[in-house]
Chains A and B, each alone.
Chain A
Amino acid sequence: MPDEVLLRLENISKSFPGVKALQNISFDLRKGEVHCLCGENGAGKSTLIKILSGAYQPDEGGQIIFEGKTVRLNPHLAISMGIQTIYQEHTVFKHLNITENIFTGLEVGKNGFLHKKEMRKKTVEVLKYLKSDLDPDALMGDLGSGQQRTVEIAKGLIFQRKVIILDEPTASFSVSEIDNLLEIILAIKESGIGIIYISHHLEEVFKIADRITVLRDGQKVSMYDLKDVTTEKLIKDMVGRDPSSFYKREDVPSGEVIFEARNVTGNGVKNISLKLKRGEILGFAGMAGSGRSELMNVLFGAENIEFGEILINGKVVKQASPSSAIRNKMCFITEGRQDTGLFLNQTIASNTIIANLVNTREFFMSPSSDYKTGDKFIKLLGTKANDSHVRVINLSGGNQQKVVLAKWFNTNGEIFIFDEPTRGLDVGSKQEIYQIMIGLLKQGKAIIMVSSDMPEVIAMSDRVIVMKNGEVTAELSKNEVSEENILIHSIGGSKI
């Protein structure tokens, strides 16, 4: 019965402090269909998946109906009822072989011992069914990510899952691996499994989808049968915010070119060229995994440059490590504030002075001057803290971000890379950060901003470079920048 509904969500909402991640979502999945979820970064796809896998509990009011019964899911229950989620960053046991990976936690036993033969037999059968030539005794760690995905799907088949959810399964796949996976998906849907498939790549969606649901800002925008929809229609649905609601930034006149990259290649990005002028924000848009942060790491000297050159003030510079980048007046406000930006258990003062040590000649330093510097930037940036003796771990997200900024402002840098500068911040903190950025432009400094927040990219950038799969797909001038244009270039078909 192909039209039988397996799983239905009714009026599902989910809020986090300060954010409504999902609002009144209704969604259903039939037996033997592939239902694709589309939407920008932050549209709510991942939250929806986490509710289906039981990792999040939805807010009161909605209900989840699985095979006709209302259920409250938790991760364990979801799996035992037959809902398997295969995450973007998947969890495999690298030191175990394929058979062991499939049966871990669900071992087949015989007289109290493992029934290895039986497990291996089942694995061989299912791999054969998937037309895969994988050796069931091969170590998981030796497989490519496409092959690992195949094993996870095999696991779903062996335990007769009813729903398989794939979240961005093809990130970091080669073309042949993608084709392989899509074939497998089409094969297993014949056996009556319902598949929810999330991907930024519309080509893949059009190859396998039966139905497509579009989410935007936590709301369901539309739902189509494949035959009723085109790429243009999908993209229109994914965008469509009112630009008048965006942040209004001040215009700052731009000056001469301060930073230039020529054919930069390395760390997974290919042949990137860009020019950055004083007083200008150059935005970088693209989907998660499009290579933007990877590029920033190369530009800052944190990752090796394989090919190409970097020019600062018209002179070629060798960016061998972050310390040389700092000497060249570059600053890098990283994406992971707590992972790569802050020393959480240290004081605001220690965090503030650390990057400028590169420019300090003196070997001896006094703690009291550290605290003075820390206090100076607390005042300058309006950080909410008594003084710079406070440890950064005790600050809220917005104030932690200000400590990161203080660390870089203290170096007197001129070229700023902001990678997701306002991720996870509330509206008030966001606007404060924006004002600080405009303040930098007025001092004649220049900013490269990577952001997955579409309104932010559009509102703040003077120009936008769009990336996809480690390459630049478009450079948009101020009047070409629109949600639609950016999306077309970041997810649209390979030929533009």
Chain B
Amino acid sequence: MTTGEEHKKVIKESLFKRFENSTVLSIFIAFIVIVVVIQIGKTGGSQFPTFISPVNLLNIVQQIAVPGMVAVGMTIVMISGGIDLSVGMLASLVAIVTALGLSKWHIGVVPSVLLGIGVAIVLDTILGYIISRTKVEPFIITLGGMITFQGIALLLCNSREVMMHGELDFFKANLINGAKDPVTGLNLVIPPYVLIFLVIVVLGWLLLTFTKYGRRVYAVGSNPNAAYLAGVNVRNIKLSTYVINGFLVGIGAVMLLARINVGIITLGQGLEIDTIAMAVIGGTALGGGKGNIWGTFFGVLLLGSIGNAMNMLRLPPEVQYVAKGVIVILAVSLSTVYTNISSSISRLSKHALSRRDI
């Protein structure tokens, strides 16, 4: 119910709310600054902080490329109001299938890769179909998917590793051979899969921001009932996000296989946790309708650089779990704090406005 007074108010929004990625960006910058300051403090400023040396930055990007690709898919799924817990085991399954294709079934590189990606798309599509046609929570369905995929993967490889002989090495060839880091003098490396990651980020951004499809994904996540009455095919939009996600998991898994060079069940372990965390840090809401690819991109960078920073600071690797956890909690709660601050500011200014009216 509204009163006449409320009716007259003109609503303003603070810049904080308008620039969606402010939370993740500020945490990311704060994180870099802290690590750099500690490094400088340790060496007394005599050395360039190695954390932000070009070779280390490229190193970080290599580590995050694969989870980053999957995080893009996860973001799209989550914006539409879903979630996919199966991505980790799906990636393991795809890697094992591809490795088997290469080293056991000998069907050649291209067919093996296509087979792997195809398996990912088909399986995630099945999950998406069940989710979009029933009312069962996606959390439950994809949890079931995760366990099933793990089982299939273990059956296929007889619970053993599938050895490879570097058939996929071209995915990690150095594109800038010979380039040296001016700081450390070490070789700089940019493999193709890093470029693929960046392309996927840009494509994901274009898809969500500049297409009819993207607008419908947000609408479905924000209010499926209203979306249906506005002529959106809610079920097919939901389904399609899982298809896209499956495709990205397929590509990611093949890249992972190329990096590690052995098909093994642990390849994708924990990937679902990492990618959901990346999306959430980047401002994607579990409830749907909120989030964007650049936010996720910074979430990927932030989460991905924690482990690396711990190494640089010579902290035990166990600490990185604590740091990751704290950052997830910080990112999510900070965005609420920001909202509270900005709404109380706007309340104050509204108060001032109404006083002026009198």
Contacts and interface: CB of A to CB of B under 8 A. Distances in A.
Interface in B224-262: 225-233
A425 B229 CA distance: 22
Interface string A350-393: 10011101101011111100100000000000001110011100
Contacts of A302: 228-229
A192 interface: no
A1 interface: no
A19 B2 CA distance: 10
A341 interface: yes
A133 B10 CA distance: 61
Given A343-B218, A353-B215, A364-B210, A334 B229 contact: yes
Interface stretch (B11-19, B140-148, B298-306, B312-320): B11-19
Nearest to A424: B1
Nearest to A425: B2
A66 interface: no
- Please indicate which of the listed interface residues B9, B13, B216, B226 has the most CB atoms of chain A within 10 Å of its own CB: B226
Given A355-B230, A362-B212, A426-B3, A395 B11 contact: yes
A386 B7 contact: no
- Please indicate which of the listed interface residues B209, B225, B230 has the most CB atoms of chain A within 10 Å of its own CB: B230
A365 B211 contact: yes
A322 B226 contact: no
A61 interface: no
B211 A363 contact: yes
A117 B216 CA distance: 56
Contacts of B229: 300, 302, 322, 332, 334, 340-341
A341 B226 contact: yes
A343 B289 contact: yes
A132 interface: no
Contacts of B225: 339-340
A396 B9 contact: yes
Interface string B81-97: 00000000000000000
Interface string A336-347: 000111111110
B356 interface: no
Contacts of B227: 343, 354
B4 interface: yes
Contacts of A334: 229
A16 interface: yes
A340 B222 CA distance: 11
A429 interface: yes
A357 B289 contact: no
A326 B289 contact: no
Contacts of B210: 364-367
A323 interface: yes
A358 B231 contact: yes
A342 B222 CA distance: 9
Nearest to B219: A354
Interface residues of A, number: 55
B212 A426 contact: no
A363 B212 CA distance: 5
Contact of B11 (A17, A340, A358, A394): A394
A286 interface: no
A352 to B, nearest CB: 11
A19 B1 CA distance: 9
Contacts of A396: 2, 6-7, 9
Interface in A135-151: none
A212 B255 CA distance: 77
Contacts of B9: 384, 396
Contacts of B17: 391
A16 B13 CA distance: 28
Contacts of B1: 16-19, 397, 424, 426
B346 to A, nearest CB: 9
A386 B216 contact: no
Contact of B7 (A321, A385, A426): A426
A341 B232 CA distance: 13
B7 A391 contact: no
B4 A426 contact: yes
A230 B225 CA distance: 44
Contacts of A105: none
A317 B181 CA distance: 69
Contacts of A366: 210
B223 interface: yes
A346 B218 contact: yes
A428 interface: yes
Contact of B226 (A342, A384, A429): A342
Contacts of B223: 339-340, 342-344
Given A16-B1, A384-B7, A426-B4, A326 B231 contact: yes
Contacts of A427: 4
- Please indicate which of the listed interface residues A19, A396, A399 has the most CB atoms of chain B within 10 Å of its own CB: A396
Nearest to A397: B2
Contacts of A367: 209-210
B321 interface: no
A295 to B, nearest CB: 15
A385 B226 contact: no
B164 to A, nearest CB: 39
Contacts of B211: 363-365
A345 B222 contact: yes
A292 interface: no
B212 A385 contact: no
Contact of A384 (B11, B13, B209): B11
Given A17-B3, A323-B232, 19 more contacts: A17-B1, A18-B1, A19-B1, A325-B231, A334-B229, A341-B229, A343-B218, A343-B223, A345-B289, A354-B216, A355-B230, A366-B210, A385-B10, A386-B12, A395-B11, A398-B2, A407-B230, A424-B1, A428-B7
Interface of A: 16-19, 300, 302, 321-323, 325-327, 332, 334, 339-346, 350, 353-355, 357-358, 360, 362-367, 370, 384-386, 389-391, 394-399, 407, 424-429
9 contacts: A17-B1, A18-B1, A322-B228, A340-B226, A344-B223, A363-B213, A399-B7, A425-B2, A426-B2
Closest 7 CB pairs of A and B: A323-B231, A358-B231, A343-B222, A355-B230, A326-B231, A397-B2, A396-B2
